[in-house]
Amino acid sequence: MPEPVQIKGTPKGLLVMLNSQDFALLKASLIEKMEKAKGFFKGAKYTIMYSDDISLTNAEKEELEAICSRYGLIAESFSLPMSKTGELLKNIAATLETVEGEECEIVLKNFRSGQTYFSNKSLLIFGDVNPGAEIISQGNIIVWGSLRGIAHAGYPNNEKAQVIAINLVPAQIRIGKFVTRAQEKPGNRPYPEKAKVEDGQVIIEKY
């Protein structure tokens, strides 16, 4: 049985999936998700997807949308093409939902060469970081796309930070004071990867 409410990330925004006919249960589950996120989803665009067997009144739909708005989400309809990495994206989304006590900034854009972006929070990017772009975060960096530029997580000296990307082929990754250069054999892999510090060096492994 799926949860009454599931929140998944996509390159275009958050997908709020409703899986129950019981409106009271949907409402309680949505509020619980938002409370657990502790502001993590604030500023993110979202759309609501209903299971085929769910029938809600307009008033009930508006009440659920009002809950999302109260927690800082921005309503926006978008289409969702099928993706080979769909299941992998769900796994990362599930991880994000369990982040406790961590502030995260959500950015929906692609970064071009010459652009630099700094955040004093963990950073979730729905887009690509292209060669020549640099992303700096005091916490973790998660890229819902390709990371081909420079990423500095844990600025200036947080060695516990991580860098995660769907396609991790960076020019450079820095975590705290530790640095790794581009991989010798970069290329698209059929799974996300993460970079972390282990035994005094940055390693990259399957996520």
Instruction: Render pLDDT for 28-39 as a digit per residue (tens, 0 to 9).
Output: 999 999 998 878
Average pLDDT over residues 110-131: 89
Answer yes or no: is pLDDT of 96 > 60. Answer: no
Mean pLDDT of 41-48: 86
Instruction: Find the mean pLDDT for residues 114-136.
Output: 91
Q: For residue 76, count other CB atoms closer than 10 A to its CB.
A: 13
Report, as an integer, the average pLDDT of 173-189: 77
User: Which residues are paired to 181 by β-bridges?
Assistant: 172
Domains, the chain, ordered by start? 5-75 (3.30.750), 102-206 (2.160.20.70)
- Number of other residues whose CB lies within 10 A of the CB of residue 8: 18
Residue found under tokens 């700096």: 136
> Model confidence at 85, in pLDDT bands (50, 70, 90)?
very low
- Write down the pLDDT at residue 101: 44
Measure the CA–CA gap between 172 and 38, rounded to whole angstroms: 31
Which of 102-106, 175-179, 183-187 shows the lowest per-residue confidence on average (mean pLDDT)?
A: 183-187
Alpha-carbon distance of 181 to 153, in angstroms, equals 14
How large is the average pLDDT for residues 80-92? 45
* Rounded Cα gap, residues 161 and 174, in angstroms: 10
Mean pLDDT of 168-185: 85
pLDDT > 90? residue 204: yes
* Cβ-count burial 150-181 (b if 16+ within 10 Å, e if not): bbbbbbeebeebbbbbbbbbbbebbbbebebe
Per residue in 8-25, pLDDT (tens digit) is: 776 667 888 888 889 999
Q: How far apart are CA 191 and CA 206, in angstroms?
A: 7
Query: Got the DSSP string for 118-155?
Result: EESSEEEESS-B-TT-EEEESS-EEEEEEE-SEEEEST
Share of the chain above pLDDT 70, in %: 78
pLDDT of residue 49: 77
Question: Contact 143/129 with Cβ under 8 angstroms?
Answer: yes
Number of Cβ within 10 Å of residue 36's Cβ equals: 12
What pLDDT shows up at residue 52?
55
Mean pLDDT calculated for residue range 163-171: 91
